Amino acid sequence: MIAGGDRVLHGHVEVRQTRPVIRGFIAVLALAVVAATTQTAARASGGGPPPARLAGAVVMGALRAPPSAAFLARVRAGHLGGVILMGRWRSRAEVAAVTARLQRAACVAGAPLLVATDQEGGRVRRLTWAEPRAAAAEVDSPTQARVEAQAAARALRSAGVGIDLAPVADTPSSSSNFLGDRAFSPNPLLVGELATAFVAGLQQGGVAAAVKHFPGLGQAARSTDEGPVTIRAGSVALQRGLRPFRETITGGVRLVMVSSASYPALDPSGRPAVVSPRIVGDLLRGELGFDGVVVTDALDAPAAARIGHAPTKAIVAGVDLLLYASEPAAERGYATLLADARKYPRLRQRLAAAGERLTALKSWLAAAGGPSCG
């Protein structure tokens, strides 16, 4: 996600965790009843996973502090497929303890969680004790990029984090671009080379990389965390910025994060990329041939929050994993997606396809020594 994501509904997770114990207890009981009801319905129908499980598998919630009882209950009920660690986490021991609790809860639902964080380097490091130390703009060779990423993979793996939402593969069009030192270079050839090396370093260490923010925010005047963004660059300029994404996809990157900016030259409808079948389906899946996991940028950021039924539209467009930077927003997104999944068979089919990609990613992580529920 974008570094400014902490500003989105900042602090709601911590507020929830200070509610009276009785309210948390009621929430736990309610989730248990819902989980039991959906499981009974699935057994009675003899069908596949119930809509509640299909919807929950694709939602990534957020934590800024150790999880509350209500949060863990949602995980046990299968209403979350992943968690992103937001804020600042200042010790390996704390993160390792939290991820272990999360995975124990997830295995009650039958599948491990995807645990992610933004660990780009420099100022964007959620795990303040961990590598990479250098910001992207300070990396001057593929060897350095790979070494920095290998160190990051060791740190993340030791704390139970399996996905690094990095590297930034955007090519800034000017020195005033909001990304600043988060971008490798204004040269797309160099960006592609360094980003591909960073991806290789992470994934050789058993941590899945997520290049961002497809199809590029190098032309953006501001961050999508600050409001809606329309990138009016022509197709030639946008194709130039696609080169690093092409190279990392060829290099085997496991995830691609899609931005919530609009690109009229790529989708004349003006739909934000994250809900655009032309950008996710035709361009990313089709032209670039990406068959891994597509994850959204924060769906509760201002640029995306205004989209009606955003989680449903994103899944239909070809996205697999819906990322939220606050827990209340994740709960609302899940509720919207579940209600729509109960109505629309096409959405249930897309959720099942997304679930297969997410299961494949979890299997890759498990094979690399990550969590499993065997």
pLDDT of residue 21: 36
Residues of the chain with pLDDT > 70: what percent?
87
Please check the confidence at residue 325 and state whether its pLDDT lies above 50.
yes
Helix (H, G, I), strand (E, B) or coil at 213: strand
List, for residues 4-54, the tens digit of each pLDDT value: 443 333 222 232 333 333 334 333 344 443 344 344 334 333 356 899 999
Q: Please answer whether residues 213 and 303 qualify as being in contact, where contact means their C-beta atoms are separated by less than 8 angstroms.
A: no
pLDDT the model gives residue 303: 86
**Are 27 and 320 contacting, i.e. CB atoms less than 8 angstroms apart?**
no
Q: At what angle do helices 310-317 and 345-367 cross, to 10 degrees?
A: 70
The full length of the chain comes to: 374
pLDDT value of position 97 = 98
Residue 100 structure tokens: 């272990």
What is the share, in percent, of the chain residues with pLDDT greater than 90?
A: 84
**From the CB of residue 369, how many other CB atoms can be counted at a distance below 10 Å?**
11
The DSSP secondary-structure symbol of 152 reads H
Averaged pLDDT, 305-323: 96
Q: What is the pLDDT of residue 42?
A: 40
Please report where in the chains the tokens 């570094």 appear, as a residue: 3
Reading the block at residue 96, the tokens are 């390792």
If residue 295 lies in a helix (H) or strand (E), which one and from where to where? Answer: strand 293-296
Question: For 64-131, what is the HEC assignment?
Answer: CCCCCHHHHHHHHCCCCCEEEECCCECCHHHHHHHHHHHHHHHHHHCCCCEEEECEEECCEECECCCC
Read off the pLDDT of residues 170-222 as tens digits, 9 standing for 90 and up: 999 998 899 999 999 999 999 999 999 999 999 999 999 999 999 999 999 89
Please measure the distance between the N-terminal and C-terminal CA atoms of the chain and give it in whole angstroms: 31
The C-alpha atoms of residue 127 and residue 352 are separated, in whole angstroms, by: 33
Neighbours of 111 (CB within 10 A): 18
Task: Tell me what pLDDT residue 374 has.
Answer: 79
Residue 47's pLDDT is 59
The pLDDT of residue 90 is above 70: yes
CB burial of 199-236 (b: ≥16 within 10 Å; e: otherwise) equals: bbbbbebbbbbbbbbbbbbbbbeebbbeebbebebeee
Domains delineated in the chain = 7-367 (3.20.20.300)
- The average confidence (pLDDT) of the chain is 89
Tokens 């809860």 appear where?
Answer: 105
Q: What is the pLDDT of residues 146-167, one digit of tens each?
A: 999 999 999 999 999 999 999 9
Whether the pLDDT of residue 2 is over 60: the answer is: no
Write down the pLDDT at residue 33: 37
d(CA 21, CA 68): 10
Residue 3 has pLDDT above 60, yes or no: no
pLDDT tier for residue 310 given thresholds of 50, 70 and 90: very high
